[in-house]
Structure 1
Amino acid sequence: MRRGRRIAVDVGDARIGVASCDPDGVLATPVETVPGRDVPSAHRRLKAIVEEYEPLEVVVGLPRSLHGGEGPAAAKVRAFAQELARNIAPVGVRLVDERMSTVTATQGLRASGVRSKKGRSVVDQAAAVVILQSALETERVSGAPPGESVEVVI
C-alpha cells in the first residue's frame, strides 16, 4: 500500500462530494460538498482542495451500470476527470468503479438517523467516502493502484 493522503470525488450534476483519508490510507472522512452546476467554479474549488490537502492522487467515481457498461453519465464523468487531471497535474487522477456508492451512502445515513431532506446536503460527501474506502481496500488487497489512470491530454 502506497503511503499518502488521497482525495475522492463523487461527481453529480448538482453537487460534487469530496472525501479524504489519512496518510496511511486507513480511514476516509467527508470533506465538503462542492456545488456542481457551475463547472469552472467547481474545478477551481477542487483545485484549491487539492492544494490544501496535497494528496498522492485523486480518485473519481465512475458511474457504471450494474452490468458494468458505461452510459452518458460515465462519459460526462470521464470528461470531468480529464479536465480535473489537467488542472491539478502533476497530482494523478484515477477513475474507480462507483456502482452502488450513493445507495450505500444513503442507507448508511438513514441507519444513523439522517433523514432525506437533511441528507441531501451530505449524501454526496458520504458517497465520496464510500468510493474512497473501496479504492483503499482494493489497493490494500491487490497491492496495485485502484481503477484506471486518467492521462493528461493537452
Structure 2
Amino acid sequence: MISDDVAAFSQALPDGGRLLGLDIGTKTVGMALCDSNWTFATAAETIERRKFSKDLERIKTVIAEQNIVGLVAGLPLNLDGSQSQQTQAARSFAQNLKPLGLPILLWDERWSTQAVTRDLIASDVSRKKRAKVVDKMAAAYILQGAIDRLAALP
C-alpha cells in the first residue's frame, strides 16, 4: 500500500511500531527512525545511491534490525504543489519498495532540506559537515512531520 493519505496509512499499520523515514535524492537516501510510540524521529544514516538493488539491501537490513512496520518517504513537490521529475523519481523509488510488504506514506517534503540547512547554519555547522548530515536530518524532519500528524488523528 502506497498512499499520501495519513489516515489510510495509519489504518494499515499495527498499533505502534517503529517507522523508517526516507529522504530520497538522486545521489543519496537519508534515513531516520522513530520510536515505537511515534513521538520523536532521529536521524539514522545516509546511504550513497548506487544500483537500486544495493540501496534496497541496506534498507532491508535496517528494516530487519529495527523492526520497522512502515515507511515514510519524502515526496518533493514544487512550491505550488505540482509535481516534477524529482517527484516522479521519488514515487518510482517508493513503488520499487512495495514488494517489502510494508505500508508506505508519501509525505510532502517541500521545506525539509531548507529547514534543516537553516538550522545547521544557525548552529554554525561548517559546509562540509552540513553536507554529511543534511540528508539524514531531512529524513528525520520528514518523519517527525508525519508522526506528528499521525498523533493528531482521532
TM range (shorter): 0.7 to 0.9
Match of 1:142 among 144, 149, 153: 153
Structure 1 partner of 2:59: 46
Deviation at 1:117, TM superposition (A): 1.2
Structure 2 partner of 1:123: 134
**Deviating 4+ runs (over 6 angstroms):** none
Match of 2:93 among 65, 80, 84: 80
Residues in 2 aligned to 1:99 and 1:139: alpha-carbon distance in whole angstroms: 19
Structure 2 partner of 1:25: 38
Deviation at 1:113, TM superposition (A): 2.4
Residues in 2 aligned to 1:5 and 1:18: alpha-carbon distance in whole angstroms: 13
Tell me how large the CA RMSD over aligned residues is: 1.3
Percent of matched pairs sharing the same residue: 35
Structure 1 partner of 2:26: 13
Match of 1:65 among 75, 78, 85: 78
Structure 1 partner of 2:112: 101
Secondary structure of the 1:37 match is coil
Secondary structure of the 1:64 match is coil
Letter in structure 2 aligned against 1:133:
Q
User: Which TM-score applies when normalising by structure 1?
Assistant: 0.86
Moved more, 31-40 or 74-83: 31-40
State how many pairs are aligned. Answer: 141
Gaps of at least 5 residues in structure 2 are 1-9
